Structure 1
Amino acid sequence: MAKSRNNLLGVGGQRKKLSRAEQQGAGTARDSDRKVAEDKKQELVRKMRERAEAQTATAVEPAAQDAPPAQS
């Protein structure tokens, strides 16, 4: 038979202590830091995409200019 079957203290982890601000519904500073980090990441991805599109556009334009005009 298993020992301490009725002693479930500590099962399921411990609860985090909430600050007064968190108890009143305000988010944690960590949550706002994550949001700021996510915003920076999105901005960086946007800039990288714009640069990639600009490079592909400039690579296509010279090829179109070098081609002789079509005569009918």
Structure 2
Amino acid sequence: MAKSRNNLLGVGGQRKKLSRAEQQGAGSARGADRKAAEDKKQELVRKMRERAEAQAATTAEPAADQDSPAQS
């Protein structure tokens, strides 16, 4: 039997059960946890970029020094 394309019952997952506090408009702890996780991720990305830039600068300096005397 072919699967019905018009029957979308159950598509899209289930809804999250709201706590009483969330129903009354209070912020959830889940939102705060996501914010903290996002902040940690941004800090990690910033540190990784700084390390990559520092490493690129140290590897670029000797190459630049080697090219200068060879051109003279």
**Into which bin does the TM-score normalised by the smaller protein fall?**
0.5 to 0.7
Identity over the aligned pairs, expressed in percent? 65
TM-score normalised by L of structure 2: 0.64
For 1:50, the equivalent position in structure 2 comes to 50
- Runs of 5+ consecutive residues of structure 2 not aligned to the other structure: 1-8
TM-score normalised by L of structure 1: 0.64
1:12-27 matches, within 5 Å, as: 16-20=17-21, 22-27=22-27
Q: Deviations over 1:17-55 (max 9, x none)?
A: 4223x1232221011111101110111011101101110
Superposed CA RMSD: 2.4
For 2:30, the equivalent position in structure 1 comes to 30
Paired residues, number: 60
Higher percent of residues as helix: 2
